[in-house]
Amino acid sequence: MKNFLRFDSVGGASGDMILSALAALGADMQRIEQTINAFFPEPLHFHAEPASGAGLNGLHVSVHAEHHPHHDDAFWPDADSHAHAHEHGHGHAHDEAAHGHGQSHHHHGEAQTHVPTHAAHAHDHAHRGLAEITRLLVRAPLPEHTRDLALEVFQSLAESEAAIHGKTPETVHFHEVGAWDSVADIVGACLALDQLGVSGVACGPLPAGIGTIRCAHGEMPNPAPATQHLLAGMTVTQTDEPFELVTPTGAALLRVWTRSLEPVPATTTVLRSAFGFGARALNSRPNVLRATLLGETADDVPGPQDLLVLESNLDDCNPEWLGALTADLLARGARDVWYTPAVMKKGRPGTVLSVLAEAARADALCEWIFRSTTTFGIRRHAVRRDELARRFEQATTPWGQVTVKIGSLQGRPITASPEHEACAALARAHQIAPRQVYDAAKAACAVDTHVHHHQADSAT
C-alpha cells in the first residue's frame, strides 16, 4: 500500500518545522544525520527534543555543526569567487533565523518546555549558487529519488529569486539557504519523506503574516517576495501575526512535493499524525505544523491492469543504439523494456524488442521506436498484469542508506528489492561490489521473511 502525507499549518512552515513534523511522525533523525555526514565536509548533528504549545506536544529539530572554513572552501568550488558577488541577488528572504522559524528564537510553548537558542551559530555567508549546490548533491551518496527532490527544491528557490531580482537561476547566489544548516534542512526533509515511504503530499491553507520584515536588501513586505512567488497557486489565509510565518525554504519544499509527487487520493485512511514546532513564540497561535500520514483505502490497492506489449524484430539494427533506446523509452513512460535474442530469417542473429506500456502511451512509444531503430513494423498485443502493493523504505548499510522497494500481498510484505542505482553509487564511492551493498540493504529492510514459510505451511 502507498503512503501519503498532508500538512496542516497553524503557525507557518519552514525547513526546520517541516523536518520537525516528519521526525515527530517517525522519521529517523539519526539515520538522516549519518547519511548527510557521509558527504558533508563538516560534522552535523540533528538534535530533536520535545516541544509543546497550546496543549499540543511534538518535536523541534535543530541542526548544529562545527564550522571549518578551510574544509568549506575546498568543498564548495568557486567559493571565493562568489563571496563578493552581492549584486547577483542572493536569497535575502532565506534568512529563516531572522524571520521567525530559525534557530535563534524561542518556540511558542508551555512554560516547562524549552527550545534552546542557537544565535551563536556563525554562518559562513558564502554566497553559493545553484551550480555549487548541484555539484554537492550530484556526487553525494543519496537515494536517487531524494537527490532529485532536493535538486528540484533548490531549482525552485533559484527560479523564484531570479524572477524577483531580474536575474537568471544560474546567476542567483543564495545567502542563508546556501549555508550548511539550510542545505541540511532541505536534504534531510527529502530523506525523511523517503523514509516514511510517502508517494504524494497535500497541503492545507498556509498562514500569512502582516506588515514588513527586514532582509538583507532592507525592508520588505510580509510574506517575503520570494515566498510569495513560490506560493503562487497555493491557498493562504491572512493572520494578524507580524512575523514571517512561511519561509522560502518551507514554501519551496511544499510547492515541489505537492506538484511533483503523486496526487493524494480523495479517500484515504489516517494512519497517524504528529506536530513539528518552530522556534519563535507567536502572539496569538502556537507555532506548529501538523503532518498526517495517510494510507490507501482498500479501493486504492492496485488490481489487475490492462496493458499493451509492443514488439519488434531487429536483425539489422546497431546494438549500440539499444542501450540508449531503453533509457529513452522508460523516460517516455514505458513500464518495462527488455530484449530477447532470436534467430531471424536466413539464419541471421537478431533481437526482439519488447516494451510494456499503458495504451495511452503506445502511439508515442511506437513513434520513438520507429525513429530510433531500423524496424519497419511494431506488433501490439494486450496483456493483463497483476501487481503487488508497493512502498519504499530506507535501509541503513555500513556504507550509507539505500532505498528499498517493498512488495505486499494482502497487506503483508513478502518481497524487498534494493534500488540498483543507489547500491551502485555507494559501491563506487567505497570501492566495493554493488552486490555487497545490495545484500546489506536487503538484510536491513523490515520485510519478515517468515511470511513465505507461513504461507507455504498453510498451503500444504
pLDDT in tens, 125-134: 445 678 888 8
| From-to residues of CATH 3.10.20.300 in the chain | 389-459
User: What pLDDT is attached to residue 288?
Assistant: 96
Instruction: Answer with the residue of higher pLDDT: 214 or 100.
Output: 214
Average pLDDT over the chain, rounded to an integer: 80
107-116, 135-144, 270-279, 450-459: least confident range = 107-116
**Rounded Cα distance, 341 and 349, in Å:** 7
> Among residues of the chain, what percentage have pLDDT more than 70?
78
Collect all residues with Cβ–Cβ distance below 8 Å to 277 and sequence separation of at least 6: 11, 17, 20, 51, 52, 53, 58, 59, 60, 107, 108, 109, 115, 286, 287, 288, 289
pLDDT higher than 70, residue 91: no
* CATH 3.30.70.1380 domain extents, the chain: 305-385
- Percent pLDDT > 90 in the chain is 42
Which of 168, 14, 155 lies closest to 88, judged by CA? 168
**Per-residue pLDDT averaged across 291-309, rounded?**
79
First to last CA, the chain: 28
Mean pLDDT of 110-127: 37
Residue 122: pLDDT band with limits 50, 70, 90: very low
The sheet that has 305-314: what strands, in order across it? 336-343, 349-357, 305-314, 379-385
Tell me, what's the pLDDT at 1? Answer: 64
**Could you give the angle at the alpha carbon of 100 between the alpha carbons of 248 and 102, nearest 5°?**
80
> What is the model's pLDDT at position 204?
95
Rg, Å, the chain Cα set: 25
Beta bridge partners of 119: none
Interval 217-267: pLDDT, tens: 678 898 888 899 999 989 999 999 999 999 999 999 999 999 999 989 888
Residue 47 in this model has a pLDDT that exceeds 50: yes
- In this structure, whether the domain defined by 305-385 belongs to CATH 3.30.70.1380 is answered with yes
Question: Amino acid identity of 244?
Answer: E
CATH node for 389-459: 3.10.20.300
Q: Residue 59, SS3?
A: strand
- pLDDT confidence band for 82 (50 / 70 / 90): very low
Residue 207 pLDDT class (50, 70, 90 cuts):
very high
pLDDT reported for residue 12: 92
* CA distances to 65, 129, 140, 173, 376 from 135, in Å: 21, 10, 9, 14, 43
pLDDT of residue 435 exceeding 60: yes
Return the pLDDT at 174: 62
